[in-house]
Amino acid sequence: MALTTSVAGAKLIASSLYDLGVRVVFGIVGIPVIEVADACIERGIRFISFRNEQSASYAATAYGYLTGRPGVCLVVGGPGVLHAIAGIGNSTHNCFPLLLLGGSSESHQVYKGAFQEIDQVSTLTPFTKFAGRPASISLLPSTIEKAYRLAYYGRPGATYIDLPADYIQGRVDPSETQQLYPASAAPKIAADASRVKKAAQLIRNAELPLVIIGKGAAYGQAEGAIRELIDKSSLPFLPTPMGKGVVPDSSPLNFAAARSAILRTSDVILLLGGRLNWILHYGEPPKFKEGVKIIQVDIASEEIGNNNSGNVEYGLVGDIQLVTQQLSAELQDYRFSSIPSALIETREKNLAASETKANRTAMPLTYQHSYKIIKDAIRATKTKVIYISEGANTMDIARSAFDVEEPRQRLDAGTMATMGVGIGYAIAAAAACPDHLPVCIEGDSAFGFSAMELETATRSNLPMAIFVMNNNGVYHGVEPTAYSATYGNPLPSTALGFETRYDLIAEAVGGKGFVARTATELKMAATDALRNRAVTVVNVIIDPGAKTKLEFGWLASTKKKPPSK
Ligand code: ADP
Ligand code: MG
């Protein structure tokens, strides 16, 4: 009797995800998760089937960042889970919510050396907010619900669920399982009111207050509250690379073009959703002013005081949206109006210098001029864009070249400076925001990490415009003569193939490809890529920059020399 009303484990997993509100799952199938993916498709969940779990897991993290709900990734056990650990790392380090589902061997064969068996729960426990295996088929829904919730409640991160083959194939009476409901927004906490008062006082008394907007503010969808605070108080601000667009880059209060100067001189900083790691030079002099007071707003109290122990008393623990509203209320009648004219001049000077570089025509093409052409094409075609950027120089230069006006419209290599996220991120962006076109500004090396995912994109009808900045190398290339056997072999470790036809990879998988060596070719290709909304690769042949010295300015140590003994 029970058998007639029973439901397959695979279907139970799919309906659990569906009931929670999941509509897209990223992954790769194999034994034993094919039935799970097929049940998802049957239930009305889009399953985006990748070529490598690493990209699939990266895509799920970006989907989590863009939507504010965990991205879900489904993989096989053993090697599948190992590849997807890249996504777990990405999720944890960037604070993007991710739920990873991994197939595993039959529960009665555990520890016997079963097919693709590793102890995934033990392996992942140290690296996730929660990793578990439901104790029975009937506990699948409640365990999935817990893992889904834990991934995005509090500080977002990664969770893992093990799906044994016998659960997937087994059957259960649905009346024995927990009913699930659409997952709602994570509960928010506001900050301690007395600390908010103190922070507001600090801002009022500051000579040069500055707001730094991090990707936590973008993830927390706090743009409304932050825009209101900045508008009313006229506080100057700086976005971090992924904090761009929370307040439009075009705002006159944006001092990104005088970043070093304002960081060096501000005496009070309101840090909204950013960590004082390498991206913010650890908050230390000489990049930051000696004795600067940093009011750090973060959802994780554990973050307060990191590289900032002198400022612990100013930390505000809470959701950025709520805390910003609290601060706004305390700063009702406050308006900052004394931005030093020297700062404004520095900004004008730097902007003019970038413009000169961008307008400079050269053969081969430069990064700056290429970006200007792409930008003009975006403007001319009125394309709504999500920028995705990775690579060293490619990403560094693109960061300031492309203005971002809306939040969550720029994804990059992030906290771990991970190369290889680009195409997975673009797939996630196309799936999450179908009215936007992902525009990827990719270094040739970075692109190589996940180029095969172009096939995922074409097969899944997810359009994107990919510009591969091809300088034949990691950081920079070598002189063309270096490729001949008589000169310079072996090639340096940074060299890649000479003028590799990345555009043909797009053509091979049903997309479109262009090679652009000149401004005219690039303009035509960019316009086509933006208008036609295919999966397009524009192979932009740029100066190999072989004579450029490798510089790591972004990483330059800001630490003062330790005192000699
Ligand atoms: P960036 O790279 O832009 O500097 P980070 O990733 O270093 O940003 O920091 C983001 C921070 O934002 C994390 O410490 C995270 O805990 C925090 N955060 C995420 N969501 C929220 C939120 N809704 N409210 C407050 N803080 C948040
Ligand atoms: Mg390169």
pLDDT tens digits, residue range 313-352? 999 999 999 999 999 999 999 999 999 999 999 999 999 9
Q: Give the sheet arrangement for strand 437-443, strand by strand.
A: 410-412, 385-390, 437-443, 464-470, 535-541, 512-516
214 CA to centre of ligand 1 in angstroms: 6
Average pLDDT, integer, range 352-377: 96
Check whether 487 has a pLDDT greater than 50: yes
Tell me, using a 6 A CB cutoff, whether residue 303 lines ligand 1: yes
Would you say the ipTM is above 0.90? yes
493 CA to centre of ligand 2 in angstroms: 12
Q: How many CA atoms lie within 13 A of 193 on its CB side?
A: 1
Torsion sign (Cα): 265, 267, 268, 272: positive
* CA–CA distance, 551 with 171 (Å, rounded to integer): 59
Instruction: Give the closest residue to 144 by CA, choosing from 74, 210, 230, 212.
Output: 74
* CA–CA distance, 270 with 122 (Å, rounded to integer): 40
Q: Who's near 460: CB < 8 A, 6+ residues apart?
A: 48, 49, 427, 431
Contact 64, 124 (CB under 8 A): no
Check whether 547 has a pLDDT greater than 80: no
Buried b (16+ CB within 10 A) or exposed e, 294-316: bbbbbbeeebbebbbeebeebbb
Ligand number nearest to the C-alpha of 390 = 2
Confidence of residue 564 (pLDDT cuts 50, 70, 90): very low
Query: Which token pair is 426?
Result: 């673009």
Name the β-bridge partners of 8.
171
Confidence of residue 369 (pLDDT cuts 50, 70, 90): very high
Torsion sign (Cα): 58, 61, 66, 71: positive
Helices (H), 164-237: 165-169, 193-205, 215-219, 223-233
Check whether 10 has a pLDDT greater than 90: yes
- At residue 358, the pLDDT reads 96
Q: Who's near 300: CB < 8 A, 6+ residues apart?
A: 154, 155, 317
321 CA to centre of ligand 1 in angstroms: 12
- At residue 551, the pLDDT reads 61
What percent of the chain is modeled with pLDDT above 90? 91
Query: Which token pair is 417?
Result: 């400076």
- At residue 2, the pLDDT reads 45
243 CA to centre of ligand 1 in angstroms: 10
CA distances, 85 to each of 13, 45, 58, 129, 159 (Å): 22, 23, 10, 14, 11
Instruction: Give the closest residue to 211 by CA, choosing from 175, 171, 251.
Output: 251
Q: How many residues does the chain have?
A: 565
* CA–CA distance, 179 with 162 (Å, rounded to integer): 20
The ligand 1 atom nearest the CA atom of 415: 2
Residue of 212, 219, 223, 326 to test ligand 1 pocket, by largest number of atoms within 8 Å of CB: 219
- At residue 480, the pLDDT reads 85
Check whether 553 has a pLDDT greater than 60: no
Tell me, using a 6 A CB cutoff, whether residue 240 lines ligand 1: yes
pTM of the predicted model as reported, rounded to 2 decimal places: 0.96
Tell me the backbone φ, ψ of residue 470, rounded to 5 degrees: -95, 100
Residue of 61, 67, 155 to test ligand 1 pocket, by largest number of atoms within 8 Å of CB: 155
Ligand number nearest to the C-alpha of 472 = 2
